[in-house]
Amino acid sequence: MNKSTDRRPFEKKVWLSSPTMHGEELEYVTEAYNTNWMSTVGANINEVEKIAAEKAGVKYAVALSCCTAALHLCVKLAGEKLYGKPAISHGAVEGKRVFCSDMTFDATLNPVVYEGGIPVFIDTDPDSWNMDPEALEKAFEMYPEVKLVVCAELYGFSGNIRQIKEICEKHGALLIEDAAEAMGATWEGQQCGSFGDYAAISYNGNKIITGSSGGCLLTNDPEDANKARKWSTQARENAAWYQHEEVGYNYRMSNVIAGVIRGQYKYLEEHIAQKKAVYERYKEGFKNLPIQMNPIVEGCVPNYWLSAFTIDSEFMCRQVRGECEALYISEAGKTCPTEILEVLHSLNAEGRPIWKPMHMQPMYRMHECIGKSGSMRAKTNAYIAGGVNDVGADIFQRGVCLPSDNKMTEDQQDRIIEVIKACFE
C-alpha cells in the first residue's frame, strides 16, 4: 500500500447507495396523516400507480408492499395464463421448469419457488452482465416445453432485453422483467420495465428512488392489473362480508409509504444524473488500472444505480471463498475483491461483491444452469481452472460493487479511488 495514500476513515460512512430525501416527500406523508388515510388505500397510492405506469411506458401499475411481492404476483399471473388456475394446494407453475437469470439477487427467482416452479438458470453475457440471449436459445433447444422466463437487469445496466423478449415470443413463452434495479434505464429508447409481459420495479431503501420499501407490478392488461390488486388485498370478493374464493396475500402498499414514493418520483432523473457522475469519475480515475467497469452495451442508457468493476484475470491475487468467508494472499501488483472490500471497510466506506450466481448458492446448486454450449452442471468452479464456461462465476470471482451513493463528495470519491489504486501496487 502506498504510504502516501490517505487511509484515515471518513467521519461519516460513505454508503453503497442510501436514500436521498428532498422534503417534498413529507408533504404527501403529512397529507396521508392529516386526512387519516393511513392504510392501504388513498390518494398517494393512486398517484404512484399513475406516475409509475407513465414513467415506465405501460398502461397499468399496481402498488405493492415490495418488489418481491410484485414478482410473486407476476409469476402467479403468468402461471395461470399459461397453465390455468391451480388447485388451492398447488402453485401456479407447480412442477414446471422456468428459465431464470443466474447472476442476480435471489428475490428474482424465489417467487418461482413460491409457486412450485423449478428454476433453470441461464448463464450471463460477459458483454452486458445480464442474461445471455445465446444461452437462452440453447435452453429452449434443450427444454422446448418451457413457457416462462424471468430476466433481471443488473445494477441498472440493461442487456439486450428486446432480444430476450423476441426469443420468448419465438418459443411461445411469457417474459417477466425484473427491473428492480433498472428503473429509469432504457434500451433503444424504451423504458426498462416495459418489455416484459409482466414487470416489477422496486422502491427499496437503496434504490434509485425510494419509499423505504414498496414496489410496483407493471402490465398492459387491465384484467391482470385488477386481478393483482385483488390478490394483494387477501383476494376478498365483492360482498358485504369477507368472502374468499382463492388464496390472497397482504401485499398492498401503504398510503404513507406511497407518499414518500410520490415525492421521490420528481427526482428520478436528477438521481440518475448524479449516479452517472459517480460512474464517470470512477471510470476516469481507474483508466490506467487493469479493471473493467460495468459494461454499457450499444442500445443501453443505464440509470447507473451501482458502479462496479471486474479485475483483469492476470492481475488477480490468489483468493478463495467458502460459504461465508474469504481468504486471499496479497501479491505485489495484484489484488482481489476481498482485499479491496477490506480496504473500503477500513476507510468507513461500503462496498460489496458482485451478486453470487444462483447456481452457486447452497439452496440452488443442484439446479441446472445453461450456457451457450449447454448444461454447466458440475462446472461451477470452471473459472478456477481458467475456463470460460461459467461466465457468472467468473464475474463473481473478480467483481466488486463500489460505494455509489449520490451524496458522496468528489473528495470522498477521490480518496476511494486512490486507496483502490494503491491495492494494485
Cα separation, 359 vs 364, in Å, equals: 5
**Are 262 and 47 within 8 A, CB to CB?**
yes
Q: Packing angle between helix 410-423 and helix 268-285, nearest 10 degrees?
A: 40
Cα separation, 414 vs 350, in Å, equals: 15
Give the pLDDT score at 7: 82
Secondary structure (H, E, C), 327-370: EEECCCCCECHHHHHHHHHHCCECCEECCCCHHHCCCCCCCCEE
Give the pLDDT score at 155: 98
Averaged pLDDT score across all residues of the chain: 95
Task: Inform me whether the pLDDT recorded for 350 exceeds 90.
Answer: yes
Task: Inform me whether the pLDDT recorded for 2 exceeds 70.
Answer: no
Give the pLDDT score at 383: 37
- 3-state class (DSSP) for residue 127: coil
Convert the pLDDT of each residue in 6-56 to its tens digit.
789 999 999 999 999 999 999 999 999 999 999 999 999 999 999 999 999
Which residues, listed in sequence order, are joined to residue 321 by a DSSP beta bridge? 326
Convert the pLDDT of each residue in 285-337 to its tens digit.
999 999 999 999 999 999 999 999 999 999 999 999 999 999 999 999 999 99
| Phi-psi group of 44: left, alpha or beta (phi > 0 → left; psi -120 to 50 → alpha; rest → beta) | alpha
Q: Sketch out the chain's domains with CATH numbers.
A: 24-267 (3.40.640.10), 268-423 (3.90.1150.10)
Mean pLDDT, residues 367-386 taken together: 68
> Band of the pLDDT at 191, cuts 50, 70, 90?
very high
Pick the closest to residue 282 from 181, 416, 424, 128 (CA basis). 416
**Are 3 and 388 within 8 A, CB to CB?**
no
- 3-state class (DSSP) for residue 10: coil
- Type of residue at 122: I
What share of the chain in percent tops pLDDT 70? 96
DSSP character string of 156-169:
G----HHHHHHHHH
Give the pLDDT score at 271: 98
Cα separation, 160 vs 131, in Å, equals: 9
Question: In terms of pLDDT, which residue wins out, 66 or 6?
Answer: 66
Cα separation, 72 vs 107, in Å, equals: 9
Convert the pLDDT of each residue in 86-126 to its tens digit.
998 899 999 999 999 999 999 999 999 999 999 999 999 99
Give the pLDDT score at 164: 98
Pick the closest to residue 254 from 69, 45, 4 (CA basis). 45
> Band of the pLDDT at 389, cuts 50, 70, 90?
confident
Using the structure block, give the residue that is written with the C-alpha cell 473478480: 398
Give the pLDDT score at 4: 52
Mean pLDDT, residues 114-141 taken together: 98
Give the pLDDT score at 295: 97
Cα separation, 146 vs 162, in Å, equals: 19
Task: Inform me whether the pLDDT recorded for 253 exceeds 90.
Answer: yes
Task: Inform me whether the pLDDT recorded for 385 exceeds 80.
Answer: no
Residue 398, burial from CB neighbour count under 10 angstroms (0-12, 13-18, 19+) = buried
Task: Inform me whether the pLDDT recorded for 349 exceeds 60.
Answer: yes
> Which residues, in sequence order, are CB contacts of 294 under 8 Å at separation 6+?
129, 155, 157, 279, 302, 306, 307, 308, 309
Task: Inform me whether the pLDDT recorded for 81 exceeds 70.
Answer: yes
Tell me the residue ranges of DSSP E strands in 70-219.
Answer: 97-101, 118-122, 148-152, 174-178, 186-187, 190-191, 198-202, 215-219
Helices (DSSP H) in 155-213: which residue ranges? 161-170
Secondary structure (H, E, C), 235-258: CECCCCCCCECCCCCECECCHHHH
Cα angle: 58, vertex 61, 64; to 5 degrees = 150
- 3-state class (DSSP) for residue 210: coil
Task: Inform me whether the pLDDT recorded for 384 exceeds 90.
Answer: no
What share of the chain in percent tops pLDDT 90? 94
**Are 148 and 176 within 8 A, CB to CB?**
yes
Mean pLDDT, residues 377-386 taken together: 44
* Host H or E run for residue 310: strand 308-311
Task: Inform me whether the pLDDT recorded for 357 exceeds 50.
Answer: yes
DSSP 313: G
Task: Inform me whether the pLDDT recorded for 376 exceeds 90.
Answer: no
